[in-house]
Amino acid sequence: MTGCLRDRTLLLFYYGGGTGAQRTHLTECEACAARYRQLGRDLEAISQVLREKPPPKTVSHRFRPFSARWLPTTAALALALVLVWVSVRIWNPSARPPLKGTNNGETWSLVDEFPSNLFLLNEAIAGELWTEGADSYNLAAAVLEAERPCEWYDLPAMGTAESSIEDLEISGTMPFATCVEVEVNPGHKKR
């Protein structure tokens, strides 16, 4: 074997590694043998330092909340908080922000109500379009079939006169009408 052993080879040898050729070299080469002995002394010196009581430290148990290792945890926590906030805003009407210049509760209750009324009326109109005689009476009947009690207003006369369903039936003319939903009182008899 030519050339001296490297430090890492000597260290491997110290801990029981190395090959037969390296061992032979170590016994024959005085320089490597001296380095090997120095390695042993170094490790013993290190062990001796560690056996002694360590010197006191300048204590600085610093709290470092923004160190890189806490970043994923912080990000996950922030995301969870945002998700909770969003879900509360969506599913809890009372937590919605007030609309400008309105009473918050009333406004949101109307918004909540509006789509269902709209769809009922749409269904009624759609049903009417597929039946013969698309006159206003059938339209009214279709709306009534939807079991939404309401009062009927002639759009041309809107704001000037009200007419009941019987009046409309008698007149037989109702180019356009609109149904305004009313509360059902206990005495009201449904069809």
Ranges of beta strands (E only) in 116-163 are 150-154
End-to-end CA distance of the chain: 112
Q: Choose which of 27, 30, 52, 175 interacts with other proteins (CB under 8 A).
A: 52
Helix runs in 92-131, H state only? 104-129
Please, which residue, 61 or 191, has the CB nearer to other proteins? 61
Stretch that binds other proteins, among 37-45, 103-111, 126-134, 141-149 (CB under 8 A): 37-45
Stretch that binds other proteins, among 35-43, 87-95, 100-108, 173-181 (CB under 8 A): 35-43
Q: Does 72 bind other proteins (CB under 8 A)?
A: no
Smallest distance, other proteins to C-beta of residue 41, A = 9
Smallest distance, other proteins to C-beta of residue 47, A = 4
Q: Choose which of 1, 4, 34, 46 interacts with other proteins (CB under 8 A).
A: 46
What are 10's two structure tokens?
């000597």
Stretch that binds other proteins, among 28-36, 43-51, 75-83, 132-140 (CB under 8 A): 43-51
In our burial notation (b when 16+ CB lie closer than 10 A, e otherwise), range 87-113 reads eeeeeeeeeeeeeeeeeeeeebeeeee
In our burial notation (b when 16+ CB lie closer than 10 A, e otherwise), range 8-28 reads ebbeebeeeebeeebeebbee
Q: Give ∠ CA 137-177-108 in degrees, rounded to 5.
A: 125
Number of residues lying near other proteins (CB under 8 A): 29
Q: Choose which of 2, 21, 31, 57 interacts with other proteins (CB under 8 A).
A: 57
CB atoms within 10 A of CB 52: 7
Length of the chain: 191
Please, which residue, 15 or 130, has the CB nearer to other proteins? 15
Binding site for other proteins (CB under 8 A): 7-8, 11-12, 14-17, 39, 42-47, 49-52, 54-63
